[in-house]
Structure 1
Amino acid sequence: MSEPCVLETRNLVKEFKGFVAVDDVNLKIQKGHIHALIGPNGAGKTTVFNLLTKFLTPTRGHILFKGQDITAMKSAAIARKGVVRSFQISAVFPHMTALENIRIALQSFEGTSFSFWKSGASLNRLNERCLELLDAVGLAEYANTTTVELAYGRKRALELATTLAMEPQLLLLDEPTQGMGAEDVDRVVELVRKAAQGRTVLMVEHNLSVVSKLCDRITVLAQGAVLTEGDYDTVSADPQVREVYMGRDGSGERGAASAPNKTEAAQ
């Protein structure tokens, strides 16, 4: 690899009462890359994300960020280091405006979330940065719109803006296009591409059309273990990957793997 490794896992294992959900996973995420983690339902993708961001504790193995072992660190400490994630379900405050949502994220990043003695007017100094972030995701005109009134795709864009407010070095996106129509998917693809400028992205994504457009490298998980890894052309042509997506009986009922350039359900 020509670029340095931003995130690395070494023999990562997660067991739940004897069930091995993540089995000896070794990842190397290159600086500046958009790297996808894909696989069929139950492959362990979201569990890996939860291990990386310490929502779960590994049974065995190590996680390194920029060469430092962060395995024992808590979620908040990892976020302060610049590892920030989104979630499958939009995680914004529905009864606040788009601008207020961004402002809360900025307060959290600055460590001023609990300064109750300060006047609300003191938060106005953050508004300029809020508007910059909203503009970056195409939501500047919705700054004063209550979030519950936003269309689903715009809510996901707002969530992306709140993660960017944390100034991530490594951005982890969990199913950024889940539940979206084609128009919203295309919009989010462009937003992710823009967000990736100057930073590294690791994403779980079920839509292989999105993966093919965005990702420099892809890791395929099956039954908690790494099945294969490479660029999109290499991965989509791998017979093992086709077998995983088509089913072991070869019936093709989930046969999107026979046309990997189309939308596929990989989660």
Structure 2
Amino acid sequence: MDAILETRGLSKQFLGFSAVSDVSLAVRRGSIHGLIGPNGAGKTTCFNLLTKFLPPSSGTIRFDGRDITRMKPAEVARLGLVRSFQISAVFPHLSVLENVRVALQRARGGSYDFWRSDAVLRRYDARARELLHEVGLAGFADQPAVELSYGRKRALEIATTLALEPTMMLLDEPTAGMTAEDVDRIVALVRRVAAGRTVLMVEHNLKVVEGLCDTITVLTRGKVLAEGPYAEVSRNPEVVAAYLGSDPAISGGAAHG
């Protein structure tokens, strides 16, 4: 297997509590890989370790053949490992186009110089509009981000993530809190932007996981409980037992998270 992201024995303790314990993970290049588990399973902590927002207590992380265990978040982002956050992170009072332009400035090594001449800033506009078209926001370029629906804000966040030209995207609950219509739109978007990229996603909505993910890793109490295709994992008695009380309908793919 050509794994683009691998961990070995990844662990994180907080004051004696093991949030992540001995996690070994291998994400296949070009795949969509789901990370699921009941509340408190350690999924977000694992994401924070992978993207270097937290240092591990022990273990190693390799991305695209390179040891990134001790790197800083900005360093791994420059290597092409880029994450989104569970809470939408956009500049609310900038336009949709300006939000993407800021991300493009950062990707090109420029500072956030909002006061620079229009001529300098407009050189980013063509690529920004391409990215907005890619995420279905071409018609919203001049609208303030604060006026977007929640689902479209998440699409904008994905556009700003794409502006950093990621080889691999880590999406933290991309459909959380959305209407059914927005969920369908984001699922289609993730499938579209995954072409030519690798995606690792934390997601509670198991119908989304079933429809999108090639491989699923189930965490519980900070440890890997099971891994494999959804059809296989969803029938695992240990996985069903772990979800009882939080996602009781996991068996048979009927859960909505």
2:249 corresponds to which of 227, 244, 256: 256
The DSSP-based 3-state class of the residue aligned with 1:255 is coil
Tell me the CA shift for residue 113 of structure 1. Answer: 1.6
Q: Does the residue aligned with 2:250 lie in a helix, a strand or coil? A: helix
CA deviation after TM superposition for structure 1 residue 121, in Å: 2.4
Distance 1:26 1:145 in 2: 44
Q: Which residue of 1 aligns with 2:150?
A: 152
Contact 2:235-2:252 at 8 Å conserved across structures: no
Deviations 1:4-33 (A, max 9, x none): 110000000000010000000000000000
For 1:32-181, list aligned pairs within 5 A: 32-114=30-112, 118-181=116-179
SS, match of residue 177 in structure 1: coil
The secondary structure found in structure 2 opposite 1:29 is strand
**What CA distance in whole angstroms lies between the structure 1 residues aligned with 2:188 and 2:94?**
26
Please state how far the C-alpha of 1:206 moved relative to its aligned partner: 0.4
TM-score (norm 1): 0.94
Query: CA RMSD for the aligned pairs?
Result: 1.3
Paired residue secondary structure (1:191): helix
Contact 2:248 2:255 in 1 (8 A): no
- Helix, strand or coil: the match of 1:256? coil
Residue number in structure 2 paired with 1:186: 184
Provide the secondary structure at the position in 2 that maps to 1:15.
strand
Task: Please give the alpha-carbon distance, in whole angstroms, between the structure 2 residues aligned to 1:166 and 1:132.
Answer: 14
Give the whole-Å Cα distance in 2 for the aligned partners of 1:236 and 1:116.
Answer: 49
CA contact (8 A) 1:24 1:225 kept: yes
Which residues of structure 2 form unaligned runs of 5+? none
The 2-side partners of 1:259 and 1:38 are apart by: 16
Matching of residue 214 in structure 1 with residue 212 in structure 2: yes
For the 8 Å contact 1:212–1:261, the answer to whether it is kept is: no
TM-score by length of 2: 0.97
Distance in structure 1 (CA, Å) of the matches to 2:247 and 2:178 = 20
Q: Give me the identity figure in percent.
A: 61
